[in-house]
Amino acid sequence: MFRALFITVSLAVATAVPTATTGLTEVESTLKDLGSKCTALDDAVRAVQPGAGFFQMLNIQSDVDAVRNSLDTAWKTLEGSQLDDDECDAFFQQVQSYEGLIVATVDDIAAQKGTLDTYHAFLCSDGRELKVGCDGYLQTAAVVCPKHADQLSDDRVTLDGALQNLLGPNGYNC
């Protein structure tokens, strides 16, 4: 179900190095778009009914694909950049929003254990991919924005905790 997002989270490195101003504009636009797509994904997960059917899963898959595409773009835009203090602050706020939406979505999936048990294998394998991919994304963010490196490190811990809850013995016991 979530394979399309998680398999490609080990994203390609961009060859062009954006200027700080261009990089910030692209990052802001991309992360704003990513935020709306994460919200749509979270709404879709919340709407899943017991015994969720094939078409419900296809709808969620569509939202997952949209999130994956935005994440790809954000990663490529950031790679090799270095933002100044003002740019860093604006970027950091958007990363915080993105990280919060991912945690909320992961928590919703964990809370629907009975409903989504049919998709246990997908959730386990792809959840591990998400864990690695998001960790790498936040590591890159800390390099681009060293001013907020400590908080971004805390964000990695928060996200890791949510994913452990999903994948561990209290969740799907992967």
Distance CA 106, CA 26 (A): 26
Q: What is the pTM of this model?
A: 0.61
- Domains and their CATH numbers in the chain: 21-167 (1.20.58)
Phi, psi of 24 (to 5 degrees): -65, -45
Q: What is the mean pLDDT of residues 19-37?
A: 63
What's the confidence (pLDDT) of residue 16?
A: 39
Distance CA 17, CA 4 (A): 27
